[in-house]
Structures are given as structure tokens and as C-alpha cells.
Amino acid sequence: MIDALPLAVTLPLIGALAVTVWPAHARGLGLAGALITAVSALTVTTEVWSRGALRADLGGWGAPLGIALEADGLSAAFLAMANLVALAVSVYAGGYFKRETARHFWPLWLLLWSALNGLFLAADLFNLYVTLELLGLSAAALGALTGTREAVAANLRYLLVGLLGSMSYLLGVALVYAAYGVLDIGLVAEAVEPGPVAWTAMTLMIGGLILKAALFPMHFWLPPAHANAPAPVSAALSALVVKAAFYLALRLWLDVFAPVLGEAAANLLGILGAGAVVWGSWRALRAERLKLLAAYSTVAQMGYLFIAFPLLAATPPGLARENLLAAVVLLALTHGFAKAGLFLAAGMVQKTAGHDRIDELGGAAQALPAATFAIGLAGVALIGLPPSGTFLAKWMMLEQAMILGLWWWLVVMMVGTLLAAAYIFRVLSRAFNREPTPYRFVNDASTELPALLLGLIATFGLGIAAQPLWRLLEQGAFG
Amino acid sequence: MTSHVLGTQLLYGGSGILLVLLGLWSFLVHAPLLRKLIAINVMGAGVFHLLVAIAYRGIDTPPDPVPHALVLTGIVVAVSATALALAFGKRLDRDGD
């Protein structure tokens, strides 16, 4: 049987080449590429589920010289979320882009997808750098697809910030290699020991990644870049690209630098996360445009993920820590589905109404019931109302914070939740204004159904059926 | 490892880190796109310098190939990123007229 691991990375790459060679068939080829990529990635997840961690040494060259791909529970969980969201985004994009833009969209989009899958599966620090750069380059190019001055300026800034982040990460990789002579995550984890070199490398690498994950106060580049991109691109940037940087930070934290970590570093990340929750939610509440609201909400939601670091650092190894880790991953996955759904639905509203100013959304619920319903569903998951995955995840994080006696994180999460409720209800209350007669529930199946499905998964799928995630995360590769 | 190798590594590695710091400073302080781009490339050159210094194992011993491979890949990435940033800059200039 052909190994599914390399396929998940190479299939979108081949697809990107195919749509570049035959731009006239970009849409059909792109959709086909999207479908087989998602199938191959989900195969990886199911194999990890049933057989445990997978590893593939490309070309038969093993570590330390060769390029290895590896999937364990953590990467398989992110891989499944990313590929389902990317598939929904692809279907949406198939109906969203006109012929000329589609030619530019599909090659970049499949390239981004390939980088994303590569990032989740790469097993050595340098290949992670390459995938990180590919992701940043294709994301910035996609974000500027509309060609407006604001979009180009915002994405130029995003590109430069991303480059700075990758440079910092690469310097950390160079230090790791200088000190230990290996790059494979498993081998580095064995060799790493507390000391100034490991500490500096960790600071440089995680510092670079939080720049890319838009952690407060390094979030300044995110709202303009995400709010000015075309809707499907915004969805992918907000749901997947920043999440990839978070995944890598979590991976380094858990598997590579675990012996080096102090509580001070974890608390610093937690404090920045708390700042992100409060500031991001506040700006989302004050935003005038729906897409800007969604972008600031991403800043806030990334904050919750970083609040997990001090909680994880304070929890002794055992069942409680495993539960907490699963809760954090569940939060990240739910946000991926919910935010993608919100952006896709917002794009539909923008396309129909010609604008996305929140104060003038009156009647949107009647004109676009499915899109409004999707916004509502995604909102339920963003606030963290039951039965969404966010509810379960936040509940477990709050419970653990209480057990540890770290009540201040609890306050921050409560404030963030209240503000989230306020900004979501602000949109919904406007959307339900005026215009009594409903028209049709679904107006444009290919663009509305993906948004709806993502909202449904975030609210019902991950909340009621979250149990499998726990089992999947038991499949650790690095110990 | 002989003191000669260590001294050489320190000299080249140290100047690499100096280049990174100079580039970082220039990147943060200067607003024009071209200066930022040059700054980020100086930073990159500094990191590559460090990697090449790590690869050095003495005048008679062949160097470690892995950091060389990393530098080659890194240069390709840096060139592509610079090209994309320049394309964005050109677009902004054209729209500004």
C-alpha cells in the first residue's frame, strides 16, 4: 500500500502544479485536488487512530540526514481539522471566485494547503522552517488577491512580520544544531538539557512563532490582513494559518523544550494570552465591519490557547494534564471550524449586501437565512455556549484553573466569554432587524453549505462527539 | 576540537550574530520597504554565516554537509520572499501614482 503520509503533502503540490499548467481548468482541477488531498489526510488521521503514530523516511533516508514525516495524535487531530476546513473553503471558493481570480487563487491555495499539511507532519526542525516560510509566502500572496491598496499594504506588512518571525525561528534552529548536532524532533528532545543555549534557542523559536500566531501585542498585523482578504482566504488565514504557528509552539513546548521550561516563561505567555483575550474581544465589540470583528475575535481566541501554557506548566503529569491538553486542542479545533464558518458566512453577506457594515445588516436574516444561521452557530462556538466544543474545552480549563488555585485566569476567561457574547449578539440583533418575510433558507448552496457545515461541526460535532479526540491524542510519538 | 577550529568558529559565528543584530535593528528602525528588505536579508546572511561557521571542522576535515544544505535551502526561501515583497512594493508604488 502507498504510504498516506507523503501523499498528504505531495498531492496538493501536484494539484498546484496542475492548475498552474492548465489554468483554464483551474476550478475543476483545483476541486479534484482538494478532494483527494482531504481524503489522503483523513486516511492519515484514521491510521493514527487505529494503529498509533506513523513515520515515513522519504526516499529511504533516515534521520539524521533524511527528511522524515511523522504523525502522532496531536498532529493527526490538527491535520483532520485543517483538511476538513480546507475542503469546505475549496467548495466555497469554487463558487466564489470569477474566472480570472480563480486562476490566481487555486495554485496559491493548493500550495498553502501543501505547506500546512507538511507543517503538521514534518518531523525535523528545519523542515518545519521551510513549511513555515512556504505557508507565510502563500498566505500573504493569497491575502492580497483582491489587489486593493489596503489589502496589498496589509499583506506586505504581514509578509515582513512573518519573515522576521521565521528569521528568529531559524536562528533558534541554528543554535540547536550547533549545540546538539541533530534536527529531528525526537533526537533533539533526547539531547536537550537546561542551559543558556537551550533557553536562548527556545526563546528565539517560540518568540518567532508567537509573532506568526499574532499573540497580543504582536497581533497588529492580523486584523487588516485578515479583514481585507477575499472571504475564503480570510477563513483559511484565521482558522488555519495562525493555528499552525500555535500548533508548532505547542509541539516545541511539549516535546522539545519540556526540560528547559520554567514557570516564568509559561506565565509570560499566559499574561500575553490574557491581554489578547481582553483587548481582542474589546476591539471585536467595537468593530464596525463584520470581517474586522471576526479578525479581532481571532486575536482573542488565540489568547485563550496561550492561557493554557501556564495551566499546563502548573499541572503535574497525569490524567488531569492529559485532559487539559485535550481541552486546549479541542478549543483550537473548534475555533478552526467556527471561525472558518463565520468568515465564509460573512463573505456571503458581503457579496449579497455589497458591504459588511454591522450597523446596516438589517434584514440579513430574512434575505440570507442560511448564512445568518451559520453566523449564529459559529457564534455559539466562539462564545462557548453548550453544546459547542468550546464550552467543553473552556469548562475543563476553568475547572483545572480552580483546582490549581490560579483564579485570575478564570476571571480573564469569564470576561472574554462575556465580551464574545456581546459582540456576537450585536451582529445577530442587527441581522434580525426589519423585513418580515423570509425568502429562501439556502440561496447559494455551494457557498452557504460549507459555512453551515463548519458551524454545525463546531457547535454540535465537536461538543457532543469530542470523545474520539482523547483517544487520538493518546497516540504520542515523542514520548 | 582544536583551539584553532574553535577560534575560527567563534570569529565567524560571532560576526554572524552581529549581522543578525544589525539587521534586526535596521528592520525595526527604518520605515521604507527597501531598507526593511535589505535589513531582513542582512539578518538572513547573519544566520547563514552562523550555520556555515557551525559546519567548519578544521582545514583538513571536510565540513559538515547538513548546515550547508540548510543554508542553500534558506537562500532559496529568502530570495522568494524578497521577490514577493518587492512585487507588493511595486504594486503599491504603481497605485500611489
How many Å lie between the alpha carbon of B64 and the closest alpha carbon of chain A?
10
Do A199 and A298 lie in one domain? The reply is no
Q: How many domains does chain B have?
A: 1
Domain CATH number, residue B55: 1.10.287
Q: Is the dihedral of CA B38, B40, B42, B48 positive or negative?
A: negative
Residue A146 domain-assigned (yes or no): yes
Q: How many domains does chain A have?
A: 3
Q: Is B77 on the interface with A (CB under 8 A)?
A: yes
Query: Per-residue pLDDT for A236 more than 90?
Result: yes
Q: Is B6 on the interface with A (CB under 8 A)?
A: no
Do A287 and A188 lie in one domain? The reply is no
Partners of A149 on chain B (C-beta within 8 Å) are: 92, 95
Provide the ipTM: 0.94
Question: What confidence score (pLDDT) does residue A251 get?
Answer: 93
Mean pLDDT (chain A, rounded): 89
Do A242 and A343 lie in one domain? The reply is no
Question: What confidence score (pLDDT) does residue B58 get?
Answer: 83
Do A75 and A171 lie in one domain? The reply is no
Angle subtended by helix axes B33-55 and B3-29, to nearest 10: 170
Give the mean pLDDT of A289-304: 93
Query: Per-residue pLDDT for B26 more than 90?
Result: yes
Which range marks the domain in which residue A369 is found?
262-471
Query: Per-residue pLDDT for A439 more than 70?
Result: no
Give the mean pLDDT of A155-163: 93
CA–CA separation, A137 and A271 (whole Å)? 30
Query: Per-residue pLDDT for A36 more than 50?
Result: yes
Give the mean pLDDT of B89-97: 81
Q: What is the band of A277 on the pLDDT scale with cuts at 50, 70, 90? A: very high
Query: Per-residue pLDDT for A369 more than 90?
Result: no
What residue of B is the nearest CA neighbor of A65? B66
Do A378 and A455 lie in one domain? The reply is yes
Q: Is B20 on the interface with A (CB under 8 A)?
A: yes
Partners of B50 on chain A (C-beta within 8 Å) are: 171, 174, 178
Give the mean pLDDT of A174-185: 90
Q: What is the band of A294 on the pLDDT scale with cuts at 50, 70, 90? A: very high
Q: Which of A368-372, A433-437, A463-467, B70-74 has the lowest mean pLDDT?
A: A433-437
Which range marks the domain in which residue B20 is found?
3-96
Contact A178 B13 (CB under 8 A): yes
Partners of B67 on chain A (C-beta within 8 Å) are: 174, 177
Question: What confidence score (pLDDT) does residue A438 get?
Answer: 53
Residue A311 domain-assigned (yes or no): yes
**pTM of this structure:** 0.91
Contact B66 A65 (CB under 8 A): yes
Do A19 and A65 lie in one domain? The reply is yes
For an interface test with A, give the residue of B9, B43, B70 to mutate (most A CBs within 10 A): B70
In angstroms, how far is CA A1 from the centroid of its own chain?
Answer: 31
Strands, DSSP E only, in A349-456?
A: none
Partners of B89 on chain A (C-beta within 8 Å) are: 156
Query: Per-residue pLDDT for A1 more than 50?
Result: no
Q: Is A63 on the interface with B (CB under 8 A)?
A: no
Do A271 and A345 lie in one domain? The reply is yes
